[in-house]
């Protein structure tokens, strides 16, 4: 019930977006894709989630894919130095019973030096602590993989679970620049064709494909988090 009720009104997100911006909020406009959505996160791009995706494997409906992108707007010249933070815990949280509290988590964290990071994946497993403060769950890893920075994506697959971490083209697309002009009163319509403001930029992506049954469900709620590890 909750999920179906959520689905229809969610389209109003964009209505709110446009209307809000139409009121003259230029600042919000520039952050309209969740990339760089606060001053703190803009200063710490490896903590800054750009997008979260969740979908059935296109070739096997029994398998499910979850992805997260961080550190948006990486130009080609910065790919060689792009990385994850070794002090950040990246998580997908999964609600199985509709209470908006995570029942399972999938975690990723990076080790290694700046030029040769290894990313470790654990879960899905019920975490010891839910909420704002979390711990790395007990291993073993369900997968580890080098952070890819080249055209080829290095993937590790073990026991039916595939993992990936690396710099990829930002999959998000939107004529945000034209949208900004419309909201700012400098234009009254989109261009056709439009121009993808995110074209040519990269993100650091984390992705996992696994048997859907490991996620519980089939009705689940998914969200991504980044958390700063204490010393």
Tell which positions 188-217 bind other proteins, by CB under 8 A: 188-196, 198-202, 205, 207, 209, 211-217
State the minimum distance, in angstroms, from the CB of residue 46 to other proteins.
Answer: 10
Strand partners, 111: 118
The footprint of other proteins on residues 90-109 (CB under 8 A) is: 95-101, 103-104, 109
48 or 84: CB nearest other proteins: 48
136 token code pair: 């790395």
Between CA 34 and CA 201 the distance in angstroms is: 15
Q: How many residues bind other proteins (CB under 8 A)?
A: 152
* Binding letters toward other proteins, positions 119-158, x by CB under 8 A: -x--xxxx----xxxxxx--xxxxxxxx--xxxxx-xx-x
DSSP 186-211: S-SS--SS---TTTT-EEEEEEEEEE
Q: CA nearest 117: which of 146, 92, 89?
A: 146
Q: CA nearest 132: which of 30, 20, 2, 228?
A: 228
167 binds other proteins (CB under 8 A): yes
3 binds other proteins (CB under 8 A): yes
181 binds other proteins (CB under 8 A): no
Asked whether the beta carbons of 163 and 208 are under 8 A apart, the reply is yes
Contact residue for other proteins among 26, 43, 114, 160 (CB under 8 A): 160
111 binds other proteins (CB under 8 A): yes
* Binding letters toward other proteins, positions 28-67, x by CB under 8 A: x--xxxx--xx-xx--x--xxxxxxxxxxxxx-x--xx-x
Contact residue for other proteins among 26, 43, 114, 173 (CB under 8 A): 173
11 binds other proteins (CB under 8 A): yes
Q: How far apart, in Å, do the first and last CA atoms of the chain sit?
A: 43
State the minimum distance, in angstroms, from the CB of residue 145 to other proteins.
Answer: 7
Between CA 70 and CA 147 the distance in angstroms is: 13
222 binds other proteins (CB under 8 A): yes
State the minimum distance, in angstroms, from the CB of residue 186 to other proteins.
Answer: 14
84 or 161: CB nearest other proteins: 161
Asked whether the beta carbons of 117 and 144 are under 8 A apart, the reply is no
Between CA 121 and CA 144 the distance in angstroms is: 6
Task: Give the sheet arrangement for strand 104-113, strand by strand.
Answer: 88-95, 104-113, 116-125, 143-146
């Amino acid at each position: 019930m909750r999920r179906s009720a959520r689905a229809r009104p969610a389209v109003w997100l964009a209505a709110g977006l446009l209307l809000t911006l139409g009121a003259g909020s230029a600042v919000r406009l520039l952050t309209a894709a969740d990339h760089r959505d606060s001053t703190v996160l803009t200063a710490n791009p490896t903590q800054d989630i750009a997008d979260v995706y969740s979908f059935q494997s296109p070739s096997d409906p029994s398998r499910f894919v979850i992805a997260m992108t961080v550190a948006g707007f990486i130009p080609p010249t910065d790919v060689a130095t792009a990385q994850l933070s070794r002090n950040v815990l990246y998580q997908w949280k999964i609600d199985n019973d509709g209470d908006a509290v995570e029942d399972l988590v999938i975690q990723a964290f990076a080790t290694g030096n700046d030029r040769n990071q290894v990313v470790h994946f654990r879960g899905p497993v019920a975490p010891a602590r839910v909420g704002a403060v979390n711990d790395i769950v007990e291993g073993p890893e369900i997968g580890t993989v080098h952070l890819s920075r080249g055209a080829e994506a290095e993937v590790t697959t073990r026991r039916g679970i595939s993992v990936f971490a690396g710099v990829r083209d930002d999959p998000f697309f939107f004529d945000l620049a034209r949208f900004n002009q419309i909201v700012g009163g400098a234009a009254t319509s989109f261009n056709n064709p439009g121009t993808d403001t995110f074209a040519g930029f990269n993100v650091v992506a984390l992705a996992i494909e696994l048997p859907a049954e490991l996620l519980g469900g089939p009705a689940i709620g998914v969200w991504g988090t980044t958390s700063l590890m204490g010393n």
